[in-house]
Structure 1
Amino acid sequence: MKADRALASAAVGASGPKSGCPAPTERPWGRCRPLPCGLRDGPCTALSRKRRPGVMAGPRPADNSQERSRATPTPSPRGGGVGPAREPPGPRGPHMRRRHLALTAVIALACAAMFTGCNCGSKTVAPPLPPLSAVVLTPDLDTLAVGAQRQFVAVALDTDSVAVAGAAIDWTSGDPGVISVSSTGLVTAVGEGVTSLIASAGGRADTSLVAVFVQHGWYAQPSGTTNQLNGLFFQADGRSGWAVGDAGTIVHTGDAGTAWSAQTSATSFSLHGVWFTSDVTGFAVGNGGTVMRTRNAGASWTRLLNVNASENLHDVCFADSSHGWVVGTNGAIVRTADGGASWSKQNPTAAQLNSVSFSDTTNGWAVGEGGVIVGTHDGGRSWYVVQPGV
């Protein structure tokens, strides 16, 4: 090896480096022993390709300003002259960088899970309630069969009797064996009995009475009257209904028939039919051409004096709020197309008509004594006999 070194030194000193043969000090990435010019593979080449801390093995870096600055000679730590400056420490290879990136990703995911899992910063706090004057619970009375459900509604009112939006209502069943209630006021009938439902908020509360029954089929309900009842109408909600009868009797229920109360009809004529065109507007018909109307759900009734009929009227039917028909004795059919503002009468048959029904504003039928059936397809402007008496 000493002979090789001497040979290389002699060659360089005698004739200088050949073209393309770099001097030893021109290798900024490390120190290597001088080789004979033209020797490509040897100890110098192998040493230069060894990986050093902070330096990736590979081809010689480009000769730019950054690399030149790195190549500035500095005193050798061994005291034997100058050598290239050491580079600052960095990642210790691809596997170390991958470990560093993986650790960073794990920490980021852990932080995200912490904030997501606990919903930090996303919880909404309900605003405090203002002073309340009352809580109003509807309906105040209800009847349910076992297994049935009913949605109750509670409204919190402030001291100005204005509904408080978003008020939190607490719901309580007086007897969980009779009814259960959800956090939204949905009541489920559990067992037979009568109990209370309580809605409270802000120190105020209201109570409804709920009756639960287990009967199936038909059963008697107390009507509150001994007079004969002849006609009946119920709203689509199945809770509000009216029954009419002899001597101007009108009774009303708002709880599906659990309780009935009398309404003042303002007539002594017997009433035979009743129909409501809305929650508040209704008609009742009876003897002597009587047609009564209410516009406040039966709180008061008024007789219409523009009905040109004296026959006993037995039934009434409306297809909408404007188009209605009334039938009675002597084949009388009385019709309105303006909600009762005006009426017209026909007698398409001499037989007494007891009931009338329309599928829409144009097609309808009426039936009566002797098996008679009359029909119309023009809203009652004209009638024809469908089934003559046998």
Structure 2
Amino acid sequence: MRIALALGLCLLAFAATAAPRAKTDKPQLPQIETPAPPVKSPNLRENYRSRLNENVVTIMAASPSETDLTIATEIAQVVDDGDNLRVLPIVGRGVAQNVKDVLFMRGVDMGITQANVLKHYAKTGELGANFIDQVVYVAKLFNEEVHIVVRSDVTDIRQLKGKVVNLGTAGSGTAITGRLLLDDLGIQVQESHFNDADAIEKLKSGGIAAAVFMAGKPAPVMGWLKGSDGLKLLSIPYTKELEDAYYPANLTHDDYPELIAKGESVDSVSVCAVLIAFNWSKDNVRYRKVAKFIDAFFDKFDEFQRPPRHPKWREVNFAATLEGWHRSPASQAWIDRAKQGPVTASRSNFDTFLAQNAPSNGTPVSDEQRAELFKAFLEWNKTQH
């Protein structure tokens, strides 16, 4: 009996603890409603796509072993302004193809070529007689030097006559300039078209007599060579036949310490690299894109001449003219505005600056000295405002 009673009491106690608690008058915390995420405009993605494409321009450059791609990459780095302006360098197939790409390929706004490509297409005729009217030059860039690498037993460029000479890949700046240069010198050779690495190996093994490389010094490919390889740079004489199409150049120990002894140099020639665009009409959206790029590019010119940028930027002069080519109207407009800017507004101050910096002995200032003083004046003038 006692056991049954105890068991009953235990069951009652368990039921009491298991039953739900009665509600109390304790205030409940308010329910916080999570705000609904903002509804994105269905056009937001499309607006971004439109803005991105409106503010991007492309530059067709050359292979990674040439200076052009380095220059195009540095342009992209300096000019970059987020979604407002973006430059996309593209690895191309050479200076001849770059002209075709600017003329015919969708999405290619600009390209880097060489000034003597006009002579190349005049010979081939494949783009017609008036193709030059369809392209404009944005800027005359730097000079690219011709490098001819030979074994130590070759002492004169005329010794290459009839020999196998590598002129780089077909359509490259090396192929075009190498062929034109040797033709101008009257040296007929057997052409080969290996890539740079294979050409060097062929040269070491005796498979070819020489390899031509076209690049702004210091050329990256020259860094692959050692004096112990038994190779050297061959001198190119600056003859009368070369005066119309080439500039004289000089390769020194500072350029290539492994190949040129200290205090010595090697004569060479160079051609000018050119940034080109299609000759769009001014009411075309593609013209406006390139014009926007030109303004940013020219406005930031000083930044290109500072380390660690390529030393070839020191040769660039945006205002320089290029014979046989049409300048971009957008480039000319920027140059015209620059002439009417601080130069014209402060021209009266130039006389003051000139008087302060003229030779103390009263010698008249030559035109060349005046030009140098005027450059210095522009820098001085910045401190006056």
User: Structure 1 length normalisation: TM-score?
Assistant: 0.19
Specify which structure has the bigger relative contact order, considering alpha-carbon pairs within 8 angstroms and separated by 6 or more residues: 2
User: Structure 2 length normalisation: TM-score?
Assistant: 0.19
